[in-house]
């Protein structure tokens, strides 16, 4: 695994500058090709070695995020570790957060919703108004997760996520490495080509702390009011926003931004 010199993304360009975004992506083709043949921890290490500037890893303390965080700590990589605390997480998630910091001797930076925006949201739609319609649910996700993510990624040259291709049809369209044209940064999904079973096996073999809810059928864990356990045979993200009939299972973090 050899270092590949990668220039940081250029300053923000107009959203219509598709050609500029394409050129930047092509300039990183060598890194994309190199990452494909590496193991996930090697992918993370090569990105850190090759890219100057700040790299941010966001985690919701799912099993994928825990395994990625394990590799970052194991290799002592200089990567900004961030979580989005929506204020509606499970008690088990907060317990795992504390356990993870103790286990690895590190601090995970918390980003919270904007207070004024949250107060306005609750005043308008009520504390559980997200159940009323897809629009109210999206509004809640935007305030509690999407806008805080923008602040979490402020100044970052790259973003590391726990996204896997087999989690959903939408996520299967991603890749190990992509260029986020709206945020103007590289996005590394080091576990993109791993299965959930492979991730779980690694966590068990290496003593990686995981959420107790996984053993109760909670496969994909988000906010407590919006997450349920899944039944045998259900798709992995079926427990997220299960009351909606359109089959959408994304809060907006991985959707293209206007």
- pLDDT tens digits, 152-210: 999 999 999 998 887 756 666 677 888 888 888 899 999 998 999 999 999 999 999 99
For the segment(s) 39-211, the CATH number from 3.20.20.70, 3.40.50.150, 3.40.50.620, 3.40.50.300 is: 3.40.50.620
In the chain, the percentage of residues whose pLDDT exceeds 90 is 63
- pLDDT tens digits, 12-34: 443 345 555 555 556 667 777 77
The reported pLDDT for the residue numbered 111 is 98
- Catalytic one of 140, 223, 226, 251: 251
The residues spanned by each domain of the chain are 39-211
- Considering the entire predicted model, what is its pTM? 0.85
Using an 8 Å Cβ cutoff, are 112 and 87 in contact? yes
CA–CA dist 74, 9 (Å, integer): 28
Answer yes or no: 251 catalytic: yes
Taking 90 as the threshold, does the pLDDT of residue 130 lie above it? yes
């Amino acid at each position: 695994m050899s270092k590949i010199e990668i220039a940081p993304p250029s300053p923000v360009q107009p959203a219509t500058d598709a050609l500029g975004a394409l050129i930047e992506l092509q300039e990183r083709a060598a890194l994309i090709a190199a990452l494909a043949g590496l193991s996930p921890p090697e992918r993370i290490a090569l990105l850190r070695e090759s890219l100057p500037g700040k790299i941010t890893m966001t985690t919701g303390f799912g099993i994928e995020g825990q395994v990625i965080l394990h590799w970052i700590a194991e290799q002592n990589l200089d990567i900004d570790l961030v979580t989005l605390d929506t204020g509606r997480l499970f008690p088990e998630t907060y317990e795992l957060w504390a356990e993870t910091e103790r286990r690895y001797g590190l601090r995970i930076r918390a980003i919270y919703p904007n207070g004024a925006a949250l107060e306005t949201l609750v005043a308008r739609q009520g504390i559980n108004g997200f159940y009323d319609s897809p629009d109210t649910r999206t509004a809640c996700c935007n305030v509690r997760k999407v806008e805080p993510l923008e602040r979490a990624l402020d100044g970052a040259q790259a973003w590391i996520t726990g996204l896997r291709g087999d989690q959903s049809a939408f996520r299967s369209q991603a890749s190990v490495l992509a260029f986020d044209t709206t945020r103007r940064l590289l996005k590394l999904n080091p576990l993109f080509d791993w299965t959930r079973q492979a991730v779980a096996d690694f966590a068990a073999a290496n003593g990686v702390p995981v959420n107790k809810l996984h053993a109760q059928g909670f496969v994909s864990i988000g906010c407590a009011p919006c997450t349920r356990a899944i039944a045998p045979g259900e798709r992995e993200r079926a427990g997220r926003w299960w009351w909606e009939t359109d089959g959408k299972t994304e809060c907006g973090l991985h959707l293209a931004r206007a």
